[in-house]
Amino acid sequence: MTGATNGFVIRRMMRSEVDFAVGLARDEGWNPGLADAEAFWQADPQGFFLGLLEGRPVATISAVGYGGDGHGPEFGFIGLYIVVPELRGRGLGLKLWNHALGTLTAPVIGLDAVVAQQDTYRSCGFELAMRNCRYEGRFGGKDAGAMPPGLLPLKDFPLAEVLAYDRRAFPAPREAFLRAWLDAPGHTALGLLRGGALAGYGVVRPCGVGSKIGPLFADDDPAAHALFHGLCAAAPQSPVYLDVPLPHAGAVRLAEAHDMRPVFETGRMYRGPAPEIDLARVFGITSFELG
């Protein structure tokens, strides 16, 4: 906990307070998943911070660390950075930002920034690496007959194989997060079996509005399309959203081939060298909040 400054105190969140942060994200129109809070917490229970003014929770931020060998994380990610609307412009968010950022010792830290805030993050040492776009499509609904051949419940694949595949498309290991994400209530996780091996996997989850697919990682366009069809068939409700890295032309083709429309844009920014991942396998980003 930090010392109080004009009644403003910063401390790490308790688990129940992550629900408050996700609720603020919902109020901002970010449309988080219904079970996001628990999976977020499992990623890094030390990575969530709360700002309180005269004892009232008024600001949140996550500064999650991934991977590492006991000497600090190898990758960090900032998200859930929100101040309640009536207290914005008073410097509370900046105090919380500086505190949270100061806890991350990772050599590379990422975040997804709305277009209007990217210059602000540049002033803090973050550089734009790529643009992301959220696409919306009007489909979804359980239909087992719509499942393309080769799709299996992801639990049918060895966890070690799933983790190894994920590591090719994400900057650091994230086993604790994935264990929670794949098994969260309402989440459907599918893998594509090709040639006796995992050729891609994806998750669809219920949100306040519709469903979101994320991640969607696949070897190539046909694998991504098969997974996309299966996940849409398993989507609890319509519309369905997919967060696409725009430099990956195959991911854009996937969204456009299904008549999805762009509804929101962010920029993936990094402080430190942009991590090396196989972007050609990233057809859908896991979460704008946790990377």
Distance CA 254, CA 231 (A): 13
Structure token digits, residue 10:
């910063």
pTM of this prediction?
Answer: 0.94
Q: Which domains does the chain have, with CATH numbers?
A: 8-112 (3.40.630.30), 134-284 (3.40.630.90)
Residues contacting 183, CB < 8 A, separation 6+: none
SS3 at position 288: coil
Q: pLDDT at position 237, please?
A: 82
**Which of 113, 112, 135 is CA-nearest to residue 253?**
135
Q: pLDDT at position 9, please?
A: 97
Q: pLDDT at position 265, please?
A: 96
First-to-last alpha carbon distance for the chain, in angstroms, is 26
Residues contacting 65, CB < 8 A, separation 6+: 44, 46, 47, 72, 73, 75, 76, 104, 105, 106
Burial state string for 32-67 with b = 16 or more CB within 10 A and e = fewer than 16: bbbbbbbbbbbbbeebbbbbbbeeeebbbbbbbbbb
Q: pLDDT at position 139, please?
A: 79
Q: Is 68 left (phi over 0), alpha (psi -120 to 50) or beta?
A: left
SS3 at position 197: strand
**Which residue type does 64 have?**
V
- C-alpha torsion sign, points 19, 23, 25, 26: positive
Per-position pLDDT tens, the chain of length 291: 555 568 999 999 999 999 999 999 999 999 999 999 999 999 999 999 999 999 999 999 999 999 977 678 999 999 999 999 999 999 999 999 999 999 999 999 999 999 999 999 999 999 999 999 999 999 755 554 567 889 999 999 999 999 999 999 999 999 999 999 999 999 999 999 999 999 999 999 999 999 999 999 999 999 999 999 999 999 988 899 999 999 999 999 999 999 999 999 999 999 999 999 999 999 999 999 999
